[in-house]
Every structure is written in structure tokens, then in C-alpha cells.
């Protein structure tokens, strides 16, 4: 039997979220099916699935989808590898461990817009510190980090990796702290190498943490907008235009709201169905 | 002994390198905020310089920035209170009540956490435009409350799950009403969880950019949007921008460190305890 | 100099007389308005201003207008880059929140096409307390009409020109380039002569309106055009391809590092720091280059028209960008709004505004001839005025879909600059996209 109090405790949240979800979805469907442009006055013309078809058939949209996937996949993979490596390195008792952990929080709480602005300053080909450093120490000539299409996406990903690797480090460290030491001690006595211990014992024990951490990062990097907006706005030559950025430009620079919604609708379907399925599998139902 | 010393020296050098990498950008921000324009772009970078508070003075007398600061405090603060309040009630019910289709409800909330903001932004934007309520605090408060409610629920569930159900049952047997039991007994028990949840939500509203960019204007602009105004027509004022960046980030840093031990758990939606 | 002004002005021989009578005339008008019953006393209007010195000056002068007419003016001022989306948002609600919007004419064509803004012809003929048609630069006023109706009143105008370092040109014995071939040779001579300390030329390369604004001069100069006679996109033409290939090669060989992300500001700073031998940009940059508090190259800059490479261009290679006020069709105080628009652009206010916030884009002939203007901008005023007189009002496509067309084309320019695609195929894509945007 349901608790009679449910309606006071749970229903407000469910009702609010359901109204928002239903409204947003149906409105998005409406916008998808109509040619809504800020350069036209209502009533808006019904165009059916034309705009969705345009998105699915456009090579610019295909590249944007591919780019979003590359961005997510590469930056999350690097965060995981780097994060695990650093947390294993820090996984011992040393003076200042607590301070190191606290300091690693700093990137996590920084406003992404500010992060983007700082990195833009670092990447400046003429007055940025990165080129200056590479030049003085290694004698490497000027690299136009954000202006060269073959490196610009990588440069954005580095900023993303910088901000979120500490997240992987902190959750991995927490997980290592709670790990039983017996199997490792036993393996050491049996003469196992450090690499064998990591591969056969530590890594499997870390796996659940890394899957959750990786999922969360993947969900959030699909949404990334602020970093790109501040650093490149999708340029040069579209080399950093993710789906989010493309939808934004379509909506607020070309004023085709209908097509922008069609685009984000397709993306939302692809990304959120996959992610929700995986996520609910892994996080809540294990 | 000697070998140990060498080893530990090497170890600390490694730690220093790691910290260097992760702290250089915020340290750069701090030092730029204290530099005069002529020092800010000097290469090699000036490590020793005469610090100035001029940049801080300039942003703290910039009425647009101050307005954005107030907007951010009102919007992020109010929406956090709303989502934590509603979220704690819902989480309490989901954990302790026998709710049918509990699993579906949780999945529903999760799916809202996953959906990208842009799909939300365009319909809401168009709605506020048609209703003529664009650019108001109210819109942003509602939007952020709704955006963060699923996170609040999912996160607070994990904190309530830590509390033995017997405590609640004993209280109810003693004649306590559900409401009083929640307010007087259970909520205080998850105080740490409530503040961690609150701070995480505050952080996400405080730093949010896309929705604020699309939905705010002169009246309700928040800090992350306001800071992009330093990229002006007349040239980027990096000194003021850095000072503004420090002002935005410092309160969140202090709060974040205060609830450090819950923060990791919160960031994984309680997936990791 | 003065002759120059006169020569391209309709009925210029009456100029001196008009300038004299104008001061007197507006004094009388002002007196008359004050003596009248202030018909709009107590009305409040809201104006969306573009972030520009001319706006800042007008905002400082608002109390005078209020005293004169009793109309309260609420001013909102936002950067050019956000202006169009902001205006469109408010227009599309039909709220009439802004009675007057200021923007670039290229964008305003879309407003007119959607019916968001009001034709001004009847106001101009009926309520002419401040409006004097003959005092505006004729080309400015004439440009701001769409389908036979006048929609805008010009606040400031701007052209583009070639800015070059006179000292370097002397040192390396270079003549001022008149064709694109000569431009390239000049860039090479400077870059090689200075051993790369000074790059040959700097231009805006940032994807979007930034690089399109500059490349468009090359398009016209090579004999290309945006639209053909039937209104179809024409940037797939051999001339357009040649101009974009040239543009890309020029910057690759003689441009500065980072040019792919240069907007107006980065380009201006590099040039005024003396790190480039030439640039092609808006005439307002001359004011910055000659400002000792901003520039390291005061007095070293020469000004010349944007080169051309054909004897029969379809339009000039110098732009003519006109920014003005538009009257919201949903405004509920149109007459009061008109009073402000016409007052703010009248000769007296324009002349006063130069003294408050220096800017070189005045649209009033008598303000342009004023002592204040001539003494401040003498260094480049002549080149600017020539550029304006030759300026091509179709420099950017003045069509409803201008934003999207500019964005599509900006991508093509950026691709060629980055070397990811050839000019022919990048422009073919943009051409197709532009045609579908204009449907």
C-alpha cells in the first residue's frame, strides 16, 4: 500500500519534472516540425520532418556529430589514464597528502568560462606562455594552437583534460583508500611484479569507480559549450564545431530556431537514450 | 636511510610537477589580477612584481559587474534552496516509502540529468519570448531549480540510504507525524549530505553559461555571462577580467573545500561513497 | 580637402551658405520647439544603442533632449556582435519594448523584410522639426531604403581603406599598391626587407563576419560579386575563387601568426604596435592609429583606397557600412521616437558628439566640415572621405538572410585560410548553402 504522505513528499517533484519534460519535449517537437525563424513573423509554416531530414543529410552536421564523439572519447580516455596514473603515484602516506587533495579541487570548482579565457591567453601564438616555453626550452617555433584546424580541437581537449582529470584522481584515490590490502600483500609474497598486481588486482577493483567516473565525464563533455564558445566559437574552418555549438550558431546567429531544435533533438535522442540506458544499468541497478 | 631520502625527494619533485600542472592556470589568474597591464604580458613572465589592487578596485566599482554578482547570488541561491527542499522531500519518500514503480521514477530523473541543456534552452527561450518574460530573475530561478532538482533527488537518496530505517519507524511508533519525523529527526541526520548537495547545486548554477547566455539580458545577467563582457570592442581588459575571475571562483572554492569529503561522492551522484 | 567633400555632394556649391544658415536654423527650431507646448511631454521611449562612440556621446547628451522636448529616453547599449539577435528577440515578441533600434543597415534589411520596422517617409515629410535631408551624406540616406521605402536614418558611416606604413614604404622604396599584384609585392618587400620582424600585411581571419567583412573587398576587387542579376548567390564564380585563393596565399605567406583568429581588435592592435607593414580595415581604425595613447605608429601611416585588379569591377572594393536608427513598427510612441531619431542625427548634435566622444563616422555634411572634425582627423580625413565616396553600398549582401549568408561564406574563407579545402570547392559549398538560405 502506498504511504498517503507520498503526495506531499514525492509528487511535487514528479509533477514539476513531468510538466517540464512533457512541455519541453512537445514544444521541441512542434519547433522541429515548423520553420521557425526570428526573421519571420508567425504563423510559422508547417514543414513536417523536412528539417530533421536536412540535419540527418547535412555533411556539416555529420562532421559535428563525429567531432562531438571524438571530443568525448579522447578527452575522457585521457582523463582516465592520466587520473589513474597520478592517483597510483600519490597512493602512499606522505606529508601534505590532505593539502594535495584539497588543491586538486581547485580546477573542479573553477567556472568553465574563466578556464577557457585563461587557456586562450596561454595559447596565444604571439604573447602566450605555452609558445614562449616551447620556444625557450625546446627551440620549437610558433604554433598557432587555436588557429590551426589540425590542432585546435586537441587544444580544447587539453583544457577539458586539465579541468576534469582531478575529478578522476579524487574518486580513484577515494576508491584506493577503501581497498583491502590483503590480496596485494599476498601477491607480493608470491613474487608478483608491480605491473601484475596493478593489472590483476588493483585495476579490476577500481573498475566500478572508473566506469561511473567515465560515464559522468562522458555525459558532461557531450554538453560542453562554454569552453568552446570562449576559446574558438567553432572555428577555424569549423574544426571545433560540436553539435552543441552548431545548434547554437544555427539558432542565434542564423536565427533558424526550428532547424536548431531539430538538430539538438536528434542529438538528445542519440546521446541520452544510450547514456541513460548505460547509466541506469551501471550506477543505480548494480 | 640515504636511499630513502633520495627516493622521497624524487617523489616530492613528482608531486610538485603534478601540482604545477593543475595549479598554473589559477595561479596565473591570481597573478594577472594583481598586475598592471605592462607586467601582465611580459615574457618571460614576471614572477616578482609590484602587486596592485587596481584591477579589483575597477571591477568593484563597475556597476554592471556588481549587478551581475547580485544577480548570481539571488538566482543561484534561491534556486538552490528550492531544489534542495523539494529534492530532500522526494528523496526521503523514495527511500523510506513503499513507492510503486520506484525504479522507473529514478530512471526518469536520471534521464533528465543526461539530456543536453540546449534541447531545454530553445523551447524555454521561445516560451519566455512569447510570454514576454525573458530576462527576469524569476525565469532563471525556475530554470535552475528544475535543472538541478533531479541531481538533488538522486544525490540525497544516497545520503538517506545511509540512515537505518528503524530510526524513522521508532519515531512513527512514538506518534510522530511523517512531516515532523522528516523535519526534526531525519533531515538533521543528513545535515552533511544536505550541505554537500546544496553546495554542488550552487556550484552548477553559479558556473552555468549556456542557459544564462540565451535567457538573460541586461536585467538578469549572471557572472559567467558578464565576464565575457570584458572581451570588449576596445580590447580585452585582461587585468579586470582576471580580478573578476577571482571574485567568481573564490567563494565556490571556500565552500568546496569546506565540504570536501562529500564532494567527490556528490560529483558522481552518490555512485561512489 | 574641402573641394573633395564638395565634389561628391549633390548641389555642393551651396555648402558654405547652408553650413552657416544651419546653425542659425537649428537654433530657431530649438527655440520654437521649446516655445511650443512640448507635445510629447512626459512620454518615455526606449532606445537600443549599438556600443559605439557616437552612441556614448548621444547618451551623454540625452538630458538636453529631455529638456527640449519633455521626452524621457531610456538607453540600453550593447556590443555590435549581440545587437541583431537582441533586436530580433524583442521584435519577434511584438512587445515594442524598444521604440528605436540602432544597427547596421545590412542587418536591418531583414527587419524591414519581416515588417518589424516602420517606413519613415511620412515622418520625414511631415514632422521635420529637426530633420534636414540635405545635410546628410546623400549616399548614406539613399542606401537605407528597401522596396522603395526609407527605413533608416544614418547615425554613422564607415568605409574600408588600405593603411600602410609610410616609413617602411620609403625605406624599402615601395610605391603605394593600386592592384592586388602590387599589394602582394609590397607585402613581400616589407617582410623580406625587415627579415620577418615586421610581417607584410595583417587582416582579419576569424570565421564569420570578421573575415567576410575584409575578404569582400577582395571579391569585388577581383571583379566578383555576391549576387547575380537574378538574385542568386554568385560566389562560386571564377573571380570569387581567384580572390579567395589570393586572400589565403597572401596571409599564409605574408600574414602574422594567429591570423586565423584575428577579429577587428587583434588586427588593429598588431598594426598599431608596428608589427605589420599594411592592413585593410575600417576607416575608424585610422582614428586609433593616430591616437598617441593607443598607437606606436602615430604619423607614420599612409591611407589609400583598397586595391582593385580589374578595370571593370561590378562594384567598388571599399565598403560602405552605414549604421542607423530604425523605428519599431510595434512602438506605441512613434512620433516621440521620430523626434529623438531626427534630433540625434541633426547637424548640431553630430558636431557636438565629436567633441564628447571622438569618432570619425559622422553622417552630417556640416559636421564633417566642422573645424573640430578637420583638426582631429586631418591626417586621414581625405582618404576616408574618398573611400566613403567610392564606397560600395552592396559591399555586403543587403538581403534578409544576410547573417546566414555571411556565416556560410565565413566558413569558406576560414577553410581556405587554414588550408583544409581549396577555394573552388569551399566556395561551391557556401554558394549552395547561400542559395538555400535565401529561399
Domains and CATH numbers, chain A: 47-180+208-285 (1.10.3720.10)
Q: How far is C93 from chain B (nearest CA, A)?
A: 6
Residues of C in contact with A256 (CB under 8 A): 404
Find the Cα–Cα–Cα–Cα dihedral B113, B116, B118, B123, rounded to 10°. -50
Q: Would you give the DSSP letter of residue C198?
A: S
**Partners of C48 in the β-ladder:** C76, C101
Rg of chain B, C-alpha, whole Å = 23
Closest residue in C to B216 (Cα) is C86
Q: What is the pLDDT of residue C313?
A: 86
Question: Distance (Å, rounded) from C-alpha A124 to C-alpha C273?
Answer: 16
| Cβ-defined contact of B206 to A23 (cutoff 8 Å) | no
Indicate yes or no: CB of A24 within 8 angstroms of CB of B120: yes
Among B22, B223, B272, select the one facing A107 at the smallest CB separation.
B22
| Radius of gyration (C-alpha) of chain C in whole angstroms | 22
pLDDT of A150 strictly over 60: yes
- pLDDT tens digits, one per residue of C248-295: 999 999 999 989 989 888 899 899 999 999 999 998 888 888 888 778
Cell of B271: 555512485
Q: Is C143 helix (H, G, I), strand (E, B) or coil?
A: helix
Closest CA to C235 of C40, C428, C7, C4: C428
**How many contacts, defined by CB atoms under 8 Å, are there between B and C?**
24
C92 contacts B129? CB cut-off 8 A: yes
Rounded CA-CA distance C319/C324 in Å is 16
State mean pLDDT over C341-355. Answer: 92
Give the pLDDT band of residue A272 (cuts 50, 70, 90).
confident
Asked whether the predicted pLDDT for residue C35 surpasses 80, the reply is no
Measured between CB atoms, does C269 come within 8 Å of chain B? yes
Which of the four pLDDT bands, split at 50, 70 and 90, describes residue B232?
Answer: low
pLDDT tens-digit map of C141-151: 999 999 999 99
Confidence of residue C245 (pLDDT cuts 50, 70, 90): very high
For C188, the enclosing helix (H) or strand (E) is: helix C180-193
As a whole number of angstroms, the distance between CA A282 and CA A216 comes to: 11
The predicted pLDDT at position B239 comes to: 86
- Which among A115, A251, A267 has CB closest to B116? A267
Grouping H, G, I as helix, E, B as strand and the rest as coil, residue C42 is coil
Look at residue B233 and tell me whether its pLDDT is greater than 70: no
| Cross-chain residue pair B146–A16, CB shorter than 8 Å | yes
Q: Do A2 and B97 touch (CB under 8 A)?
A: yes
Give the C-alpha separation, C166 to C378, whole Å. 16
Least CA distance to A28: which residue of chain B?
Answer: B123
Question: Mean pLDDT for chain A?
Answer: 89
For residue C410, the tally of other CB atoms under 10 A from its CB is: 23
Cβ pair C85:A255 closer than 8 A: yes
Contact C99, C330 (CB under 8 A): no
Whether residues A125 and C258 touch (CB distance < 8 A) is answered with: yes
DSSP B216: -
Maximum C-alpha span of chain A:
78
Alpha carbon distances (Å) from C235 to C218, C245, C439? 12, 13, 16
Q: What length does chain A have? A: 286
Residues of B in Cβ contact (< 8 Å) with C78: 218
Q: Which of A172-176, B87-91, B122-126 has the highest mean pLDDT?
A: B87-91
Cα→Cα distances C206→A234, C102, C245, C415, Å: 11, 24, 17, 11
B106 interaction partners in chain A (CB closer than 8 Å): 280, 284
Lowest mean pLDDT among A96-105, B2-11, B76-85: B2-11
- Asked if residues C110 and C103 have their Cβ atoms less than 8 Å apart, the reply is no
Contact A118 B25 (CB under 8 A): yes
pLDDT at C4 over 70: no
Share of chain A above pLDDT 90, in %: 58
- Characterize the bridge pairing of strands C100-104 and C44-50: parallel
- Using a CB-CB cut-off of 8 Å, the residues of chain B touching C80 are 233
Least confident of B11-15, C79-83, C103-107: C79-83
Contact across the interface for A101 and B93, Cβ inside 8 Å: no
Nearest CA in chain B to A268: B115
The cell for C295 is 598607437
**Pairwise CA distance, residues C434 & C439, whole Å:** 9
CA B123/CA B121 separation, integer angstroms: 6
**CB contact B69 to A (< 8 Å):** no
Confidence of residue A16 (pLDDT cuts 50, 70, 90): very high
A23 interfaces chain C, CB cutoff of 8 Å = no
Q: What was the ipTM of the complex prediction?
A: 0.90
Instruction: Residue A171: name the closest of A219, A94, A104 by CA.
Output: A104
Q: Which residues contact C344 (CB under 8 A, 6 or more apart)?
A: C58, C61, C65, C155, C325
User: Are the CB atoms for A236 and C414 separated by under 8 Å?
Assistant: yes
Contacts of B102 (CB under 8 A, 6+ apart): B94
Q: Which of B171-180, C196-205, C248-257 has the lowest mean pLDDT?
A: B171-180
User: Each residue of B206-229: pLDDT tens digit?
Assistant: 999 999 988 888 789 999 998 887
CA within 13 Å, CB half, C298: 12
Query: Mean pLDDT, chain B, as a whole number?
Result: 87
Helices (H), ranges, A223-256: 226-231, 243-252
Give per-residue pLDDT as tens, C423-438: 999 999 999 999 999 9
Q: Do A247 and B118 make contact, defined as CB atoms within 8 angstroms?
A: yes
- pLDDT recorded at residue C15: 42
Interaxial angle between packed helices C423-438 and C238-254, expressed in degrees from 0 to 180 and rounded to the nearest 10: 130
Question: At C153, which helix (H) or strand (E)?
Answer: strand C152-165
CA B219, CA B208: separation in Å to the nearest integer? Answer: 17
Half-sphere exposure of C294 (CA within 13 A, CB side): 16
Chain A residue whose CA is closest to B99 = A2
Task: Let me know: does C289 contact C61? Beta carbons within 8 Å.
Answer: no
Chain A nearest-CA distance from B237, in A, is 12
Tell me if B233 and C265 make a contact (CB, 8 A cut-off): yes
pTM metric for this prediction: 0.88
Residues of B in contact with C275 (CB under 8 A): none
Contact B33, B247 (CB under 8 A): no
For B119, the grid coordinates are 534541447
Give how far A41 is from chain C: nearest CA, Å: 6
Closest CA to A236 of A162, A172, A150, A178: A150
Residue C22 scores a pLDDT above 60:
no
Of all residues in chain B, the one with the smallest CA distance to C88 is B129
Q: 3-class DSSP state for residue C151? A: coil
Amino acid at each position: 500500500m502506498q504511504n498517503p504522505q507520498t503526495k506531499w513528499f514525492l509528487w511535487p517533484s514528479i509533477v514539476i519534472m513531468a510538466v517540464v519534460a512533457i512541455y519541453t519535449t512537445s514544444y521541441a517537437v512542434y519547433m522541429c516540425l515548423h520553420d521557425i525563424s526570428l526573421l519571420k513573423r508567425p504563423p510559422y509554416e508547417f514543414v513536417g520532418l523536412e528539417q530533421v531530414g536536412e540535419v540527418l543529410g547535412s555533411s556539416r552536421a555529420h562532421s559535428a556529430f563525429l567531432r562531438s564523439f571524438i571530443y568525448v572519447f579522447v578527452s575522457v580516455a585521457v582523463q582516465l589514464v592520466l587520473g589513474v596514473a597520478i592517483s597510483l603515484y600519490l597512493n602512499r602516506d606522505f606529508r601534505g597528502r590532505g593539502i594535495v587533495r584539497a588543491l586538486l579541487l581547485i580546477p573542479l570548482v573553477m567556472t568553465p568560462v574563466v578556464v577557457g579565457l585563461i587557456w586562450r591567453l596561454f595559447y596565444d601564438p604571439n604573447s602566450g606562455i605555452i609558445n614562449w616555453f616551447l620556444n625557450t626550452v625546446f627551440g620549437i617555433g610558433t604554433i598557432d594552437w587555436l588557429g590551426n584546424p589540425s590542432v585546435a580541437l586537441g587544444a580544447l581537449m587539453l583544457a577539458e583534460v586539465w579541468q576534469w582529470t582531478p575529478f578522476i584522481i579524487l574518486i580513484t584515490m577515494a576508491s584506493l583508500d577503501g581497498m583491502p590490502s590483503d590480496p596485494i600483500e599476498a601477491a607480493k609474497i608470491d613474487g608478483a611484479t608491480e605491473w601484475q598486481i596493478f593489472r590483476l588486482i588493483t585495476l579490476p577493483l577500481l573498475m566500478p569507480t572508473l566506469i561511473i567516473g567515465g560515464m559522468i565525464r562522458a555525459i558532461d563533455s557531450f554538453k560542453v559549450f562554454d569552453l568552446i564558445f570562449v576559446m574558438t566559437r567553432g572555428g577555424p574552418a569549423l574544426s571545433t564545431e560540436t553539435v552543441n555549438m552548431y545548434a547554437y550558431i544555427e539558432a542565434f546567429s542564423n536565427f533558424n530556431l526550428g532547424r536548431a531544435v531539430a538538430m539538438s533533438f536528434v542529438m538528445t535522442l542519440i546521446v541520452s537514450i544510450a547514456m541513460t540506458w548505460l547509466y541506469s544499468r551501471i550506477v543505480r541497478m548494480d | 636511510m640515504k636511499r630513502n631520502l633520495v627516493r622521497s625527494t624524487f617523489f616530492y619533485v613528482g608531486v610538485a610537477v603534478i601540482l604545477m600542472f593543475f595549479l598554473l592556470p589559477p595561479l596565473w589568474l591570481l597573478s594577472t589580477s594583481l598586475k598592471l597591464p605592462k607586467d601582465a604580458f611580459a615574457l618571460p613572465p614576471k614572477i616578482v612584481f609590484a602587486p596592485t589592487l587596481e584591477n579589483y578596485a575597477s571591477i568593484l566599482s563597475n556597476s554592471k559587474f556588481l549587478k551581475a554578482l547580485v544577480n548570481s547570488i539571488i538566482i543561484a541561491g534561491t534556486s538552490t534552496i528550492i531544489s534542495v527542499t523539494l529534492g530532500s522531500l522526494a528523496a526521503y519518500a523514495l527511500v523510506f516509502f513503499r513507492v510503486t514503480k520506484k525504479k522507473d521514477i529514478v530512471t526518469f530523473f536520471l534521464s533528465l540529468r543526461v539530456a543536453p541543456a540546449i534541447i531545454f534552452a530553445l523551447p524555454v527561450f521561445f516560451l519566455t519570448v512569447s510570454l514576454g518574460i525573458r530576462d527576469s530573475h524569476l525565469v532563471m530561478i525556475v530554470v535552475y531549480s528544475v535543472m538541478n532538482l533531479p541531481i538533488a533527488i538522486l544525490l540525497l537518496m544516497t545520503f538517506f540510504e545511509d540512515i537505518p530505517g528503524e530510526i524513522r519507524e521508532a519515531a512513527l511508533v512514538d506518534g510522530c507525524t511523517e512531516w515532523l519525523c522528516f523535519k526534526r529527526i531525519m533531515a538533521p541526520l543528513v545535515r552533511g549530505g544536505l550541505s554537500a548537495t546544496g553546495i554542488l547545486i550552487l556550484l552548477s548554477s553559479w558556473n552555468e553559461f549556456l542557459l544564462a547566455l540565451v535567457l538573460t539580458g541586461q536585467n538578469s545577467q549572471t557572472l559567467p555571462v558578464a565576464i565575457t563582457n570584458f572581451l570588449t570592442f576596445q580590447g580585452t581588459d585582461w587585468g579586470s577580467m582576471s580580478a573578476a575571475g577571482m571574485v567568481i571562483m573564490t567563494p565556490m572554492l571556500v565552500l568546496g573545500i569546506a565540504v570536501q569529503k562529500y564532494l567527490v561522492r556528490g560529483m558522481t551522484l552518490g555512485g561512489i561513497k | 580637402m574641402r573641394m573633395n567633400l564638395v565634389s561628391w555632394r549633390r548641389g555642393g556649391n551651396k555648402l558654405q551658405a547652408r553650413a552657416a544658415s544651419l546653425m542659425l536654423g537649428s537654433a530657431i527650431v530649438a527655440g520654437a520647439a521649446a516655445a511650443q507646448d512640448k507635445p510629447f511631454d512626459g512620454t518615455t521611449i526606449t532606445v537600443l544603442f549599438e556600443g559605439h562612440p557616437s552612441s556614448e556621446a548621444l547618451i551623454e547628451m540625452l538630458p538636453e533632449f529631455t529638456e527640449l522636448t519633455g521626452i524621457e529616453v531610456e538607453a540600453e547599449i550593447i556590443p555590435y556582435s549581440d545587437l541583431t539577435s537582441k533586436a530580433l528577440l524583442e521584435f519577434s515578441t511584438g512587445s515594442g519594448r524598444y521604440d528605436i533600434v540602432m544597427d547596421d543597415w545590412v542587418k536591418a534589411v531583414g527587419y524591414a523584410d519581416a515588417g518589424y520596422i516602420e517606413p519613415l517617409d511620412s515622418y520625414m515629410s511631415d514632422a521635420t522639426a529637426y530633420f534636414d535631408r540635405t545635410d546628410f551624406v546623400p549616399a548614406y540616406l539613399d542606401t537605407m531604403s528597401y522596396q522603395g521605402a526609407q527605413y533608416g536614418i544614418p547615425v554613422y558611416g564607415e568605409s574600408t581603406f588600405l593603411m600602410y606604413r609610410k616609413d617602411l614604404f620609403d625605406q624599402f622604396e615601395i610605391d603605394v599598391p593600386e592592384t592586388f599584384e602590387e599589394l602582394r609585392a609590397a607585402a613581400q618587400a616589407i617582410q623580406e626587407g625587415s627579415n620577418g620582424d615586421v610581417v607584410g600585411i595583417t587582416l582579419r581571419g576569424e570565421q564569420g563576419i570578421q573575415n567576410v567583412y575584409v575578404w569582400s573587398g577582395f571579391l569585388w576587387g577581383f571583379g566578383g560579386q555576391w549576387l547575380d542579376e537574378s538574385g542568386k548567390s554568385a560566389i562560386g564564380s571564377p573571380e570569387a575563387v581567384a580572390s579567395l585563393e589570393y586572400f589565403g596565399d597572401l596571409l599564409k605567406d605574408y600574414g602574422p601568426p594567429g591570423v586565423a583568429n584575428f577579429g577587428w581588435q587583434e588586427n588593429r592592435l598588431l598594426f598599431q604596435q608596428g608589427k605589420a607593414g599594411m592592413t585593410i580595415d575600417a576607416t575608424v581604425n585610422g582614428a586609433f592609429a593616430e591616437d598617441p595613447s593607443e598607437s606606436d605608429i602615430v604619423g607614420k601611416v599612409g591611407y589609400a583606397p583598397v586595391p582593385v585588379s580589374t578595370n571593370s569591377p561590378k562594384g567598388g572594393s571599399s565598403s560602405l557600412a552605414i549604421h542607423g536608427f530604425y523605428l519599431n513598427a510595434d512602438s506605441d510612441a512613434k512620433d516621440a521616437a521620430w523626434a529623438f531619431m531626427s534630433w540625434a542625427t541633426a547637424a548640431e548634435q553630430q558636431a557636438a558628439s565629436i567633441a564628447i566622444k571622438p569618432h570619425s563616422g559622422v553622417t552630417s555634411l556640416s559636421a564633417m566640415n566642422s573645424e573640430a572634425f578637420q583638426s582631429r582627423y586631418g591626417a586621414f580625413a581625405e582618404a576616408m572621405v574618398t573611400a566613403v565616396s567610392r564606397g560600395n553600398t552592396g559591399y555586403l549582401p543587403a538581403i534578409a538572410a544576410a547573417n546566414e549568408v555571411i556565416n556560410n561564406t565565413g566558413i569558406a574563407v576560414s577553410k581556405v585560410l587554414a588550408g583544409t579545402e581549396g577555394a573552388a570547392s569551399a566556395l561551391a559549398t557556401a554558394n549552395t548553402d547561400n542559395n538555400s538560405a535565401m529561399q
